[in-house]
Structure 1
Amino acid sequence: MKKLTATLVLFLLCFISCKKEVKTETVTTNVSDTTKTEEPIAEEPVDSAAQAKAWQAYATPGAPHKLLSDEVGTWNCEMTFWYEPNAKPEKSSSVATIKMILGGRYQEANYVGKIMGAPFEGKSTVAYNNASKEFTTTFIDNMGTGMMVAVGKYDEGTKSVEYKGEVVNPVTGKKAPYREVYTIVDPTTRKMEMYDTKNGAEYKSMEIVMKKK
């Protein structure tokens, strides 16, 4: 009986060890059209040196982070809004203070100004992910309770990043796509253009021209 118990324990330990080496993927089968089975897919083994090298590359700021650090400083922002397609534009202004955080890995910007006469505060972060080769931008402000998140890639030819994300309409509660084009005009000028979607059609909803002090 002791031998049988020891054998079962050994088998169980081997089974647990094997489970650590595989990941599972759900595959739909046609068994009664209702049964789903999981088939293990073996992962390629990666040695510790290769893992350490990959993580070091992932954590090391590079040329894209230099683009972000070039914007450190204070910027005057002239903002134009269109609340509806073909609507009369509304003008406003703010001041953005930009800095790099966490060892130069992320950019953080704080905006202070007025929109339609009301005090405005906003905060954005920008990251460049060395693994996915993409920029990610987030934005929050005191005029809502949601966070805008968008992802895009830098185009060297146009000196711009085209971001794409989703935003929730507080009136309908539904998500809608939005697009942002962020352009490096010259060393002291940036332009941000926002495009929203209404009734299935895209329209320009905001433009910010930033001038470095």
Structure 2
Amino acid sequence: MRNPLFLMIALFISFSSFSQSPEEMKAWESYMTPGEEHKWLASMNGQWTATVKQWMDPSKPPVESKATTENRMLMNGLYQESTHRGNMMNMAFEGRSITGFDNSKKMFVSTWIDNFGSGIMVMEGIFVEPYRVLVMEGTMVDPSTGKDLKVKEVMTFVSKNSYKFEMYMDMGGAQIKTMEINYTREK
């Protein structure tokens, strides 16, 4: 079996032998450089308290709970990691997201994992009102069917110290609001 370090060095040498044009080098530099969207993400770094409302049945009142969120930037400011902790259905809940702005696609990209499932939700989105409303759409697995379920998230930024998150799922051909979280920055 080969040494992993040897394989990494061999890959580096083979990739570095490719000649890249100045245009290609400029494209890579642009792709890996944080921009205004990344700075906007970083503005939400820190500790947040959250009031959570969940609709298990849209015809009934929501279940309410409290949670906390910590946001921090990773990898030279390209991605934001958010760690969420709370209590749902009388069980400890922990979730984690990685959100970034893909400079090439000109879209926000996000993943979500939590201890209430074994799948990964993947989202993409854009500002519909720059620096105030971000809409992300994607899919997650419906554990009852094993099939993908369309999901939409709307984040509305009220001020530098508060924002609202809403989640919608496609059910029976309609988008149903399943969650609302109101965040307040801890002082």
TM range (shorter): 0.7 to 0.9
The question of 1:132 aligning with 2:105 is answered yes
User: Could you tell me which residue of structure 2 aligns to residue 98 of structure 1?
Assistant: 71
User: Could you tell me which residue of structure 2 aligns to residue 178 of structure 1?
Assistant: 151
**Number of aligned residue pairs:** 168
Q: 1:51 to 1:190 in 2, by over 3 A?
A: same
1:190 and 1:81 map into 2 onto residues whose CA distance is 17
Once the two structures are TM-superposed, the CA of residue 47 in structure 1 deviates from its matched residue by 6.3
CA contact (8 A) 1:151 1:165 kept: yes
User: Could you tell me which residue of structure 1 aligns to residue 23 of structure 2?
Assistant: 50
User: Could you tell me which residue of structure 1 aligns to residue 5 of structure 2?
Assistant: none
User: Could you tell me which residue of structure 2 aligns to residue 120 of structure 1?
Assistant: 93
1:140 and 1:150 map into 2 onto residues whose CA distance is 12
Q: Which amino acid is the alignment partner of residue 77 of structure 1?
A: A
1:107 and 1:171 map into 2 onto residues whose CA distance is 31
Correspondent of 1:195 among 164, 168, 173: 168
* TM-score where L is the length of structure 2: 0.86
CA contact (8 A) 1:92 1:116 kept: no
Structure 1, unaligned runs of 5 or more: 1-45
User: Could you tell me which residue of structure 1 aligns to residue 140 of structure 2?
Assistant: 167
2:177 and 2:120 map into 1 onto residues whose CA distance is 20
User: Could you tell me which residue of structure 1 aligns to residue 16 of structure 2?
Assistant: none
Specify the SS of the correspondent of 1:61.
coil
CA contact (8 A) 1:79 1:208 kept: yes
User: Could you tell me which residue of structure 2 aligns to residue 42 of structure 1?
Assistant: none
1:86 and 1:158 map into 2 onto residues whose CA distance is 33
Q: Specify which structure has the bigger relative contact order, considering alpha-carbon pairs within 8 angstroms and separated by 6 or more residues.
A: 2
Q: Deviations over 1:84-103 (max 9, x none)?
A: 22222100111101100011
Once the two structures are TM-superposed, the CA of residue 153 in structure 1 deviates from its matched residue by 0.6
Q: 1:141 to 1:130 in 2, by over 3 A?
A: same
The structure whose Rg is larger is: 1
2:22 and 2:126 map into 1 onto residues whose CA distance is 30
User: Could you tell me which residue of structure 1 aligns to residue 127 of structure 2?
Assistant: 154
Specify the SS of the correspondent of 2:30.
helix
1:87 and 1:166 map into 2 onto residues whose CA distance is 25
The question of 1:61 aligning with 2:34 is answered yes
Q: Deviations over 1:55-96 (max 9, x none)?
A: 101110010001100011000011100012222210011110
**How well do the aligned residues superpose, as a CA RMSD in angstroms?**
1.5
Q: Deviations over 1:93-142 (max 9, x none)?
A: 11101100011110001111111211011101101000010001111011
Once the two structures are TM-superposed, the CA of residue 158 in structure 1 deviates from its matched residue by 7.3
Q: Deviations over 1:160-211 (max 9, x none)?
A: 1111111211111122211110111110001110001111111100001110
Specify the SS of the correspondent of 2:76.
coil
What percent of counterpart residues are identical?
A: 36
Q: Which amino acid is the alignment partner of residue 126 of structure 1?
A: T
